[in-house]
Amino acid sequence: MKTKQIALIAVSIILIIAIFTNPNQTAHKEKVKTTITSLFQKQLKENETESNNSFQALGSLLGTSLINTIVENGVSCDNYILFSITKFTYEGQEKSIGYGLLGKVFLSSKIEDAFRKKQ
């Protein structure tokens, strides 16, 4: 009997922690921005040449601005109390691209694959 009570208490504590640490929409958007910006910067460095550093600086600035706009308008999250799902809407289609759990947002590797295809 005591083992069941301890197990019930442990499960209850885990559920309460999950509820209070579920990431909000801002956390989801920030994770997507950070991930895409990092991929964009990596792509710029791969294409880097000495002769066009000023163009790369401009491209980086414009790219970051575009990324921020796209994320603000296209990324949302669905909150399921214990966890949340990161969603991206583009041309009327909504796709799940990650999830949030215990204070962290985890994104699908498909984002990197999709980013590389667009380049």
Predicted model pTM = 0.73
Number of domains in the chain: 1
pLDDT of residue 94: 82
Q: Which domain holds residue 61?
A: 2-118
Beta strands in the chain (DSSP E): 75-79, 84-90, 93-101, 104-107
Q: Let me know if 88 is exposed, middle or buried by CB neighbors in 10 A (0-12, 13-18, 19+).
A: buried
pLDDT in tens, 76-107: 888 998 899 988 887 778 888 889 999 899 98
Average pLDDT over residues 48-64: 60
Query: In whole numbers, what is the pLDDT of the chain averaged over residues?
Result: 80
Residue that the structure tokens 């922690």 belong to: 17
